[in-house]
Chains A and B, each alone.
Chain A
């Protein structure tokens, strides 16, 4: 089924929140998922992969412990949302020209954050993992390698360089067509953010009072 990008963003935000991310990080997850879909990459699948891994471990154990040469997390596996936000936040802070991230879940989710870094730095950024070379100019993505390498669940090491040449970019999309099971995964996590309906909340919570049938 085809979804509007606002639908993708809305469900991604709720799903991330349901999986235990803070509201601010859930907003990042939503924008990142949308950004991938705009570039024709299945962001819904990437997010579903991350949420399934994070569920239980908790995102705080999958955050960079520091921002030295090789980023590692407490639990071993690294969350691409936490690493991505850190990448973007530190873009204009340090002079580091190369960052390495260990054991990164769904590495493709790092791309939207690299794009945010590009928009602050004004230079293209290149990501490399498992034979994939992905360059972003902040808006579009140029790939060297097959699309299916993109969707790997985990990369042993991802290297990020502040340099790159944009060649033929992926076509931009204004709809998303995620896999049904991934969409269901996001809905399952999102459901955790909904309060169970009670008769009291039905009557009071939305302010029913005077008749609404007149």
Chain B
């Protein structure tokens, strides 16, 4: 059992943590939503069944996968389609997919299935009801799918090289939840223990989808090869995750939900601070850490990207792992505050990717200190929205200076500091980012530049008496209302605000995507441009029918021979 410091180590400074380059180097950890879910389902001994699986040789049909928890059941309803290759696109503007899904609250009736069969395949063009919790779709990996069907139908296993290079047979291109398309609002589910942590329904949907994909590939191989066909080898199946292709749509989320985003980062930073405060580590804890560093190194080695930015970061991270392992061979972890020393060392010796990985890895031996923080990650503070109009203007000035101090001295008229504008296209409402000075976008700009707006509000407040209530300012300046709200939220939420310019000429939207997806538990980030990224979810995880307390947590780290 860990012994604590009499003086707890502080959480890391938001000024440092909330820079985009660092957020864009985030890794999954014990507090990732996928791992929180698999731990819970194993602990509560959830039971998984597949009451329906009806598909033809082309993969057209439907299936139901039911997850039975202690109080409630949830069912993934999967529809398979025969999609012409020219229609296959990961973009939001696509209108057809290889497979479409909904997570149903309970066990669907025949009438439910008939209703959903008319709506789920249409995705955004369909409607669902409050018995549906999420709506999603997936496309096959063209590179792998045919290869797998061919090999298995001919009685042999697919090539390991090809499997490793892609990592998934299907990738989801959107998972909609919380009221989208008419589905159940999160508020109606959030009091259920299994839904209290953010995105648990979406993560359950993907977990069940992975099982469906394995079943479908076996089915199609058998349909093609008959008795000659073999089933996909379990060790290959384990390596496969569900891919995901994520574009700009996810990026505004973390700006639009400042309290929620704060709670995620706060939970992680509190976990890091608790582990850094451990005075002495047991040999069990240090040996588990050593082992997971080795396994993590294997994970880094298997991580591939074609994007120049990520290629460079991976080269750094690969070197970081080598340096870390060498360091661990020389350093004595039985000294006082070993994890604090290690984090301090990493800040002088490793790249940002490596530093962030170290902070994630030190949490692993300390489930007892860390895992309970999962319950603090939702945003349940409904009062945070209300502006306290009585707060003196002087206090608002201070709040803005604390959260956006760096932005007040920036020249916001300089074109490079405001080159970009976020907007929503009328074409299927796809979120996009454009060049402010090259396209007529100003009238359509979304409020996703809080730092610029804070600087403007600070300037507007300049001539005001600091003792006056902010209500008087707002009566004359409603254009600063969203900034005043954010500043007030930041007073209780130090990690709510990104400490970087979100409209700079060199902003990388993939940094926003990375941090959000890391909290989901994603791995193998592979940017495909500066504004969309492919990832893998649940790679290495047990399938639903294999989930046990022993394999529910550390599946994310590949096994290595010692």
Given A22-B481, A24-B483, A194-B424: A93 touches B182 (CB 8 Å cut-off): no
Interface status of A64 (Cβ within 8 A of chain B): yes
| B178 and A194 contacting across the interface, CB-CB below 8 Å | no
CB pair A196–B426 under 8 Å, yes or no, is: yes
Partner of A195, one of B245, B247, B441: B441
Query: Interface digits, B91-103 against A, CB 8 Å rule (1 contact, 0 not)?
Result: 1110000000000
Decide: B479 and A22 in contact? CB cutoff 8 A: yes
Give Cα distance in the complex from A146 to B130, angstroms.
Answer: 30
A205-B434, A213-B142 are contacts. A5–B187 as well, Cβ < 8 Å?
yes
Tell me whether A88 and B481 are in contact (CB under 8 A): no
Is A170 at the interface (CB under 8 A from chain B)? no
**A30-81 CB contacts (< 8 Å) to partner B:** 31, 59-60, 63-64, 67
- B447 and chain A: residue at smallest CB distance: A23
Closest B-chain residue to A25, C-beta based?
B478
A2: Cβ under 8 A from any B Cβ? yes
B171: min CB distance to chain A, Å:
9
User: Chain B nearest CB: distance from A197 CB in Å?
Assistant: 4
Is residue B313 contacting chain A, with contact meaning CB distance below 8 A?
no
Taking a contact as CB atoms under 8 Å apart, the answer to whether A214 and B471 are in contact is no
Query: What's the Cα separation between A6 and B186 when bound, in Å?
Result: 9
Which residue of A is nearest B93, CB measured? A202
Are A24 and B481 in contact, CB atoms less than 8 angstroms apart?
Answer: yes
Tally B residues with Cβ within 8 Å of A.
Answer: 69
How many Å lie between the Cα of A206 and that of B483 in the bound state? 27
A29 to B: closest C-beta gap in Å: 11
Residues B471-496 near A (CB distance < 8 A)? 471, 474-475, 478-485
A: number of interface residues (CB 8 Å): 54
Give B103-157 interface residues, CB cut-off 8 Å to A. 127, 129-130, 139, 141-143
Closest CB in chain A relative to B249 CB, distance in Å: 8
Whether B441 pairs with A7 at a CB distance below 8 angstroms is no
B183 near A4 with CB under 8 A, answer yes
Which of B188, B427, B528, B531 is within 8 Å of A202, CB to CB? B427
Is there an interface contact between A206 and B432, defined as CB atoms closer than 8 Å?
yes
Asked if residues A22 and B425 are in contact (CB atoms below 8 Å), the reply is no
Q: How far is B475's CA from A207's CA once the two chains are assembled, in angstroms?
A: 40
The docked-state distance in angstroms from the alpha carbon of A60 to that of B184 is 36
Residues of B contacting A196 in the complex (Cβ-Cβ under 8 angstroms): 425-426
Indicate if the CB atoms of B247 and A22 lie closer than 8 Å: no
Are B528 and A63 interface neighbours, CB within 8 A? Answer: no
Q: Is residue A165 within 8 Å, beta carbon to beta carbon, of the partner chain?
A: no
Contact B471 A7 (CB under 8 A): no
- With a cutoff of 8 Å between Cβ atoms, the chain B residues found around residue A7 in the complex are 179-180, 182
Give chain A residues whose Cβ lies under 8 Å from the Cβ of B312.
none
B478 touches A92 (CB 8 A): no
A93/B483 in contact, CB under 8 A: no
Residue from A64, A82, A198 having most chain B Cβ neighbours under 10 A = A198
Known contacts A88-B389, A193-B424, A213-B85; decide if A4 and B434 are in contact (CB<8 Å): no
Q: Distance (Å) between the CB of B443 and the closest chain A CB?
A: 8
Which of B183, B474, B478 has the largest count of A CB atoms less than 10 A from its CB? Answer: B478
Distance between Cα atoms of A136 and B469 in the complex (Å):
25
Residue contact B471 to A89, C-beta cutoff 8 Å: yes
Report if B185 contacts A (CB, 8 A).
yes
Which stretch, B52-60, B211-219, B380-388, B394-402, touches the partner chain A? B380-388
* Contact status A194-B425, CB under 8 Å: yes
Chain A residue with Cβ nearest B486:
A24
The answer to whether B306 and A210 touch across the interface, beta carbons within 8 angstroms, is yes
B389 CB contacts on chain A under 8 angstroms: 88-93
- Assess whether A25 is in contact with B434, with CB atoms less than 8 Å apart: no
Q: Kindly report which residue of chain A lies nearest to residue B470, judged by CB atoms.
A: A89
Closest CB-CB distance, B366 to chain A, in whole Å? 36
- For B433, the chain A residues whose CB sits under 8 A away are 205, 207
A85 contacts the other chain (CB 8 A): yes
Give the docked Cα–Cα distance between A64 and B476 (Å).
10
For chain A residues 176-214, which have a beta carbon within 8 Å of chain B?
A: 191, 193-198, 200-202, 204-210, 212-214
B529 CB within 8 Å of chain A: yes
Shortest CB distance A82–B (Å)? 7
Q: How far, in angstroms, from A91 to B388 measured CA to CA in the complex?
A: 9
Residues of B within 8 A of A193 (CB): 424, 444
Task: List, in ascending order, chain B residues with CB within 8 A of A208's CB.
Answer: 91, 529, 532
Interface residues of B in 522-549 (CB under 8 A from A): 528-532
A175 contacts chain B at the CB level, 8 A cutoff: yes
Question: B143 to A195, Cβ gap below 8 A?
Answer: no
CA distance A24 to B481 in the complex (A): 5
Check B532–A197 contact: CB distance below 8 A.
Answer: no
**11 pairs, CB–CB < 8 Å, chain A vs chain B:** A4-B183, A59-B478, A88-B386, A93-B389, A195-B423, A205-B248, A207-B528, A207-B532, A208-B529, A210-B306, A212-B532
Q: Which residues of A are at the interface with B, using a C-beta cutoff of 8 A? A: 1-7, 21-25, 27-28, 31, 59-60, 63-64, 67, 82, 85-86, 88-93, 116, 119-120, 174-175, 191, 193-198, 200-202, 204-210, 212-214
Beyond the given pairs A6-B179, A24-B482, A193-B424, 18 more chain A to chain B contacts, judged by CB atoms under 8 angstroms and listed by A's residue number, are A7-B182, A22-B479, A22-B482, A24-B483, A24-B485, A31-B385, A63-B475, A86-B471, A119-B386, A194-B425, A198-B439, A201-B425, A207-B433, A207-B528, A209-B528, A212-B91, A212-B245, A212-B532
Pick the 9 closest A-B CB pairs, nearest first.
A24-B481, A6-B179, A205-B432, A207-B531, A4-B179, A89-B389, A197-B427, A24-B482, A194-B426
